[in-house]
Amino acid sequence: MTRVKKAFAVIGSVLFAIFAFIIGKRKLSEQKRTPETPPENHAANAALDAVQETFEQEVDRVKAATTSDTPADDLADLGNARRR
């Protein structure tokens, strides 16, 4: 290779390294951004509260059925009512 070709190869390699460094630095700075917190969803909160309340009511019904005089009949009634 001639001196000119070697010079072009060196200059090209240096320019490529600078270009790669700049692009890499941009990509890393984009990844370090902290994510924003999502806005509060009032509908989802209300739905979660309703589900939690229903769950607690069902648990109370099962507890009452298991402590009654005829727990098998009461639990069977709860199971049959659930299927309907």
**pLDDT per position as a tens digit, 30-77:** 666 677 888 888 999 999 999 999 999 999 999 999 988 888 988 888
Looking at per-residue confidence, does 38 or 21 come out higher?
A: 21
Give pLDDT, residue 27. Answer: 77
Same domain, residue pair 9 and 29: yes
**CA distances for 3 relative to 11, 28, 29, 56, angstroms:** 12, 37, 39, 84
Same domain, residue pair 21 and 45: no
Same domain, residue pair 22 and 4: yes
Give pLDDT, residue 48. Answer: 93
Give pLDDT, residue 17. Answer: 92
Residue with tokens 């692009």: 23
User: What's the domain count of the chain?
Assistant: 2
**Angle, alpha carbons 65-69-72 (nearest 5°):** 55
Burial string for 45-56 (b: 16+ CB within 10 Å, else e) reads eeeeeeeeeeee
Give pLDDT, residue 83. Answer: 65
Same domain, residue pair 56 and 21: no
Residue of 56, 60, 58 lying closest to 68 (CA atoms): 60
Give pLDDT, residue 35. Answer: 72
Same domain, residue pair 46 and 28: no
pTM, entire model: 0.48
CA distance 60 to 54: 10
Same domain, residue pair 45 and 78: yes
Domain range enclosing 12: 1-33
Above 90 in pLDDT, residue 29? no
